Structure formats: C-alpha cells, structure tokens
Amino acid sequence: MAKEKKQVKAITSMEDDFAQWYTDICLKAELVEYSSVKGFLIIRPYGYAIWENMVDIMDGMFKKTGHQNVAMPLLMPESLLRKEGELVNGFAPEVAWVTMGGSEELEERMAVRPTSETLFCDHWSRVLQSYKQLPMLYNQWCSVVRWEKTTRPFLRSREFWWQEGHTIHETAEEAIAETEQQLNCYADFCRDALAMPVLKGRKTDKEKFAGAEATYTIEAMMKDGKALQSGTSHFFGDKFSRAYDVTFTGRDNRLQYPFQTSWGSSTRLIGAVIMTHSDNNGLVLPPAIAPIQVVVIPVAMHKEGVLDAARSLQQRIDALGIRTKLDDSDQSNGWKYAEYEMKGVPLRVEIGPKDMEKGQCVIARRDTGEKYFVPLEELEAKVQELLKAVHDNLYNAAAERLNTRIYPCQTVEEIREAAQEKHGFAKSMWCGNEACEVAMKELAGVSSRCLPLEQEKLGDVCPVCGKPADKMIVWGIAY
C-alpha cells in the first residue's frame, strides 16, 4: 500500500484564476504548507531559505545605518498595552490573549505580541537618561500574531514573520529623517533585491498606523493590477513617549520627551515577489534572494565523464560565491526541468556528451526561457552576465507595468474603470476630506493607497465632492 508518488503537476493559469494560481505556486513550489493550526502557516525549507536571504540583505542594510537588534518579550500585560489608547483600539480586535500560565489563571491577561511599540517604550522609560544616549536605533526580527478572519499564505495569516524597527531621537526633525531613510531603505531593497519597483508615499489619516502622526508606505503593483502594501514607516512625534513616560535630560539640563519612529516589513514580501514575477510555469525568483541561483543538470548522466563535467561546472560557479546545486538524482531530465522551473531557479546549466564534444554547456533562463550555448571557458562570465540580465529584465517588466498602469483620472467613473476594468491604479486630485475617501470605496471599489511623495497637478478639484483639491492621491484595489 504505497503512498502516491510525488509529482510535479501543472498549476492553474493566472488568466483563469489569479488567486488559485497564487495558492498553487505557494504549495507546489513547496514554500508553505497549511498547518493544522487554523490560520497559521508553516514555512517550509525552500520558502524559509528565501526569507533568510531577504533577512540577510535587509539586516545588513539596517546595521550599516547604525541599527542594533534586540529581543523583547513575546507577551505583554493588557495594562501596558492600554497605556496608549489609539494603539490598543487599533489592535484589540485582533489580539490573541493568554489567560493561563500552567494550571493557574493569570491575574491579568496578556497579549501575544501584535506589534511591540509598547514594550520598546516601556524599556526606554527605564534605560533612557541623557540626550547623549540618543538616538537609540533598535530592530527586532520575530513573529507577531493577529487574529485575522480570512487568511492567505504570506499575504494575511494569524502569525507572520517580520522585522520591526523602533527608534527614538532628540528632535522631531531627526525622527522624521529616520522615517524617510527607512522608507527609502525598503524601496532600495525592493529594487535591488526583489527586482520590484514601488511607489513611495504617505498614507491618509484614515489608513495610517494606529497612534502614528504620519505613516509612509511603499506600494507595489501585482500582475493582476492590485496593490500590495510592502513596507511602512511611521513617525509618532512624542505621543508614545508621553504615554509611557519616556524622558531624557536634554542639552539644556531639562527633562524632555524623545521623538519616535517605527517601521516594518514582513514575509508578505514573499507574496509580493510571487505576484510580481511568477508565471504559469511556477515561481520566478530574482537572483538576489533565490536559494538556488543556478542549478546544474547532467544530461545522459550515465555516459562517461558527464557527471564529472557537471560537477566541475558546479564547482566553478560555486567558487564565484553563487548559490548553486548539482542535481544528480535519478529523476528524468523532463522532471528536473519542470521542478526547477516551478521553484523559480533563475538559471539552469545543462551539460551532456554532445556539449562536451563541442566544449560547451547550455544555459537556460527561467525568466525568458532563452537558451545560450556557452563555450566552457566563458562559463563564469556568462553566468554572472545572465544573472544580472535576469534581475534587470524582471525589474524592467515590473517597472513597465507600474509606469503604464497608473491611470490619471478626473472622475469617479474613470477611477472605477482604471481599477476594475483596466486592472491598474488610478491617480487623481483629492480634497483631503475623509468623507470623499470613504465614498470612493462605495463608488469605485477602491481604497486610497498613498499620497505619492512625487506629487503632480492633475487638475483642481476633487472627483467626489468637486471642491478645490491640491493633493494627488493614488487609488487601487488592495491585498
């Protein structure tokens, strides 16, 4: 009674059912598995290796600008969370509560960390003394829990993995500069590591983080034209400092409240990568985060010398510091090609007896499917050239989409059409009134994504109320 043999199967095409296509990739590329814990995810080795590559790169960027990692408690007493009213109101509906420790009922229930502003503030209230200690630039890599009703792999689940940066500064100006620096850091990371262009902007008051004075965001456009918020950076002013009594002795020898920021990005970015680059053959990964950047496949492996030749290629590529794998398993070539296509490996190198005779190997690109016959002595140069080409091609295709599918609109109907029929974003003027923002959801089925940092003047009036409008805003259907 053998179990069914594992096979690489075709996936739903994105044209037929984008949501199913997405789920198929998550499962068939072995990124995740649904756990038997409802709404919780298991990140499998291949998916986790992608996340590890993202973490390595981002962590290096954070450290270069002076940030240090710390670990804060997983649980926090309700009273601590309640000190800042807006924050708790924002998160309370989705907090998981611990009420028992061992066999004892707790006197006060404790929240499983949904975000850690309160813990950082509480810590700073005890350790901060002088302006000389500022800025404090902290970051934490951890998972957080939010009790979501409906969940989807990477995009929305009851637990997700993220980093949360938390900083305090002597002045508001410095804190604002930090907020902007980290927003740019996210955008640079998306461009250079994920080959994903983003739109940088500020959230409206309605969409900003609970308790923040200002929330900045990067918004990416998925292949279906929907928006994915991919990272946020918040400026809190001194509001939390006051709520948690975080003070320091300033240069003038008086007690002052520091100014605070926080910023976060998460495993959601894996979802962003999938929906930005992948196709109907499976996952497509930008080289910088691919767990395997080049797979080497010996063709007609049983023929003399083939395996050795393949191994030699693999070692030469490995010596470049490129993550590479030799697949010398007894699966068929067809199975292997499909498998590494599904897993989004950027380059496949093949070598067989005929190639050996000709002193060449074959390199196939995952993104375009193009094949190159490469003289063996040119292997290193060609692999490096092609990895760069894959990155650039992925970036350019995504940038082309983002650039051509943000439609300037004058009317509510045009906005509806841009999002619902042309499958893109809409940009329009906006009066700044929340009522108009809410109405847009009703009338066009879109939410505000951001007020782009690069503003344009598209007109003079708000498409909803017709009143004077001097802000350009971007609308879209969001994940």
74 binds a second copy (CB under 8 A): yes
Does position 142 interact with a second copy (CB under 8 A)? The reply is: yes
Please report whether residue 89 would count as binding a second copy according to CB under 8 A.
no
Structure tokens at 86: 């807006």
- Amino acid identity for residue 58 in this structure: M
Closest distance to a second copy from the beta carbon of 446 (Å): 27
Instruction: By CB under 8 A, name the one of 10, 17, 45, 456 that touches a second copy.
Output: 45
| Shortest distance in whole angstroms from residue 3 CB to a second copy | 4
Paired with 298 in beta bridges are 351
DSSP string computed for 247-303: -EE-TTSSEEPPEEEEEEEETHHHHHHHHHH-BTTB----GGG-S-SEEEEESSTTS
Token pair for 100: 């028992």
At position 7, the amino acid (one-letter code) is Q
Half-sphere exposure of 172 (CA within 13 A, CB side): 6
The yes or no reply on residue 133 touching a second copy (CB under 8 A) is yes
For a second copy, the binding residue among 119, 246, 274, 284 (CB under 8 A) is 119
**256 beta partners:** 248
Q: Does 101 bind a second copy (CB under 8 A)?
A: yes
Helix (H, G, I), strand (E, B) or coil at 476: strand
Rounded least distance, CB 359 to a second copy, Å: 34
Q: How far is the CB of 268 from a second copy (least distance, A)?
A: 14
Of 189-197, 245-253, 409-417, 430-438, which part binds a second copy (CB under 8 A)?
A: 245-253
Residue closer to a second copy (CB basis): 70 or 376: 70
Residue 155 CB, shortest distance to a second copy, in Å, is: 16
Binding-site member from 16, 36, 60, 64 for a second copy (CB under 8 A)? 36
What is the size of the binding site for a second copy (CB under 8 A)?
68
Report the largest interatomic distance among the alpha carbons of the chain, rounded to a whole angstrom: 81
Stretch that binds a second copy, among 97-105, 197-205, 215-223, 313-321 (CB under 8 A): 97-105
The conformation of residue 417, written as its DSSP 8-state character, comes to I
What is the Cα–Cα distance from 40 to 110, expressed in whole angstroms? 20
Determine the residue type at 176: I
Residue 285 half-sphere exposure, CB side, CA atoms within 13 Å? Answer: 29
Q: Is 347 in the site for a second copy (CB under 8 A)?
A: no
**Binding segment toward a second copy, per CB under 8 A, in 64-72, 212-220, 351-359, 411-419:** 64-72
What is the spatial distance between Cα 196 and Cα 407, in angstroms, rounded to a whole number? 19
307 lies in the binding site for a second copy (CB under 8 A):
no
Residue 434's CB is within 10 A of a number of other CB atoms, namely: 12
97 contacts a second copy (rule: CB under 8 A): yes
CA–chain centroid gap for 27, Å, is: 18
Residue 269 engages a second copy in binding (rule: CB under 8 A): no
Say if CB 417 and CB 446 are below 8 A apart.
no
Candidates 80, 134, 342, 379: give the one binding a second copy (CB under 8 A): 80
Locus of tokens 């067809």: 334
Interface residue with a second copy among 14, 25, 26, 43 (CB under 8 A) is 43
Which one of 35-43, 183-191, 212-220, 225-233 is the stretch in contact with a second copy (CB under 8 A)?
Answer: 35-43
Q: In angstroms, what is the minimal distance from the CB of 6 to a second copy?
A: 6
What is the DSSP pairing of strand 248-249 with strand 360-365?
unpaired
Q: Which residues contact 308 (CB under 8 A, 6 or more apart)?
A: none
Nearest to 452 by CA among 109, 257, 199: 199
Cβ nearer to a second copy, comparing 267 with 447? 267
* Binding status of residue 65 toward a second copy by CB under 8 A: no
Closer of 45 and 468 to a second copy (Cβ): 45
Task: Choose, by CB under 8 A, the member of 129, 384, 410, 455 that binds a second copy.
Answer: 129
Our finding on whether 110 is near a second copy (CB under 8 A) is yes
Residue choice 98, 307, 320, 439 for contact with a second copy (CB under 8 A): 98
- What is the Cβ-side half-sphere exposure of residue 419, based on CA atoms within 13 angstroms? 26
Q: Does 122 bind a second copy (CB under 8 A)?
A: yes
Question: Which window, 106-114, 164-172, 274-282, 393-401, contacts a second copy (CB under 8 A)?
Answer: 106-114
Q: Which residues does 340 contact at the CB level (< 8 Å), separation at least 6?
A: 292, 295, 297, 327, 348, 366
- State the residues that interact with a second copy by CB under 8 A: 1-6, 33, 35-37, 40-45, 48-49, 51-52, 68-77, 80, 92-103, 109-110, 112, 119, 122-123, 126-127, 129-130, 133, 138, 142-143, 145, 147, 158-159, 161, 247-249, 253-255
